[in-house]
Chains A and B, each alone.
Chain A
Amino acid sequence: MGAIQVNHLNFYYGEKLALNDVSIDIPERRITALIGPSGCGKSTFLRCLNRMNDTILGTRVKGEVLLDGEDIYAPRTDVVDLRRRIGMVFQRPNPFPQSIFDNVAFGPRVLGLARKSELADFVEASLRAADLWGEVKDNLHEDALSLSLGQQQRLCIARVVAVRPEVILMDEPCSALDPIATLKIEALMRELSANYTIAIVTHNMQQAARVSDMTAMMMLTADGKSGTIIEIGETKMIFTKPRDKRTEDYVTGRFG
């Protein structure tokens, strides 16, 4: 559950080709990192995986994105259910201005995943999965915005986990966090990968090297106009002996 296969994906903002012929297998219950210079389309690509780009007018997609073998761009796809199955965590934590409890309970309530009597257990399990329970169990009804940024980000992860997704997309989830909060999220990612497929966009090379199993290197095509994947491999290989000179130059900080 939660394997993603992308075949020859092209993505357009209006007439502008932003992603050019991207193909990748994102294996289930592993962590796949997407790295590459700014503006090469990493976030755009991540957002193609749960159709977040649909919300931007004038965008279109060619090629296919398969979740467990089914094309998520097929007309019959229920996009709300798709985004439940493929959740997303963003650069800056974005909890709702509600209590900690209500943030986590929001999804299960809306989707009718839990009966009222079960809701508390649901929230606890999600907060435990996000390694936040111990820190908030005595103040579940406090404003989520009173938490530290690192805690807020773990709350957002709990909120994603609460709707029982298969895949979690993370777009630079630690870029607003201090080193300790970052390490906590990384440890959490490793735990979550036992149950969920994770794809993460990161600018932090060490983070990609530490946390991911697979790494995909993206960069702009030779004409500088659209992004594509130039190399995919085991993370260990990408950071010790990448095959592509451009990957080597990027991971060693020589361009990008």
Chain B
Amino acid sequence: MMTGTRDRFDRELAHLQGRILEMGSQVHAAAGRGLQALVEDNADLAREVIAADEELNRLRYDIEGECYHLLVTEQPVAGDMRAIVSGIIIASELERIADHGKKIARTYLRMLDDPRMVPLGDIPRLGEMALGLLDRALRSVAHRDVVEARAVCLDDDQVDALYKQAFNLTISYMLENPRQIAAGAHLIGVAHELERIGDRATNIAERVIYAVTGELIELNV
């Protein structure tokens, strides 16, 4: 029954999907490098991450513009509409994940003002877990994989649990080392940014579920 009447539109949708995934992998790398700067104590890398964020903001607006263009010219309905609207939201979530990476880099640079370092404790593991969740969310985007998307939403609980643990650990350290309260507070800030990355990975996964099934749900609060 396919007459190929929508070939051009299908190519445009595929192009949009490609750009979202491309942005996804850049954002994943940027957030990872923000964390890496802290873990490896690399100020140059932190500054690079901050400088590169502008490009990701631009990419987000490019993708958003592409979506608006498709809305206006194709007046999409049903699955097409869901894919495009989800694209707008996913691009915005990705842009904010990049912001979290930038904030981690910036926080780390502030921590350099005070040479007394605080042990990172669970932070690297928390970062690994949050970025792992983002990676899985992006795979669910790529494969329109609803099963994986639902799993991502549920597994965000593990990120939340580790965040609480990191929070408590840092607070105890601060109590024992009152001179390093400022540094400890910064570290809690970093943990919070990582926890937010997990939340946004969940938001992305929820959009995959909507795009594929039309179900509008919040799977993890």
| Chain A interfacial positions (CB closer than 8 Å to B) | 205-206, 209, 239-242, 246-249, 251-255
Contacts and interface: CB of A to CB of B under 8 A. Distances in A.
- Sorted nearest first, the 5 A-B pairs with minimum C-beta distance are A241-B214, A239-B77, A255-B1, A252-B80, A251-B77
Interface residues of B, number: 16
A240 B2 contact: no
A242 B78 contact: yes
A102 B1 CA distance: 49
Chain A interface secondary structure, helix, strand, loop or mixed? helix
Contact of A240 (B1, B5, B82): B82
Nearest to B75: A206
18 contacts: A209-B77, A239-B77, A239-B78, A240-B78, A240-B81, A241-B79, A241-B213, A241-B214, A247-B78, A248-B78, A248-B79, A251-B77, A252-B80, A254-B3, A254-B5, A254-B6, A255-B1, A255-B5
A253 B5 contact: yes
A251 B78 contact: yes
Contacts of B9: 253
Nearest to A205: B77
Interface of B: 1-3, 5-6, 9, 75-82, 213-214
B3 A255 contact: yes
B214 A240 contact: yes
Given A240-B214, A241-B214, A252 B75 contact: no
B189 to A, nearest CB: 40
A246 B80 CA distance: 14
A254 B77 contact: no
A252 B2 contact: no
A3 to B, nearest CB: 28
A230 to B, nearest CB: 13
A252 B82 contact: no
B82 A241 contact: yes
Q: Which of B6, B9, B77, B82 has the most CB of A within 10 A?
A: B77
Contacts of B76: 252
Contacts of B2: 249, 254-255
Nearest to B81: A240
Contacts of B79: 241, 248, 252
A183 B86 CA distance: 29
A145 B117 CA distance: 88
A248 B77 CA distance: 9
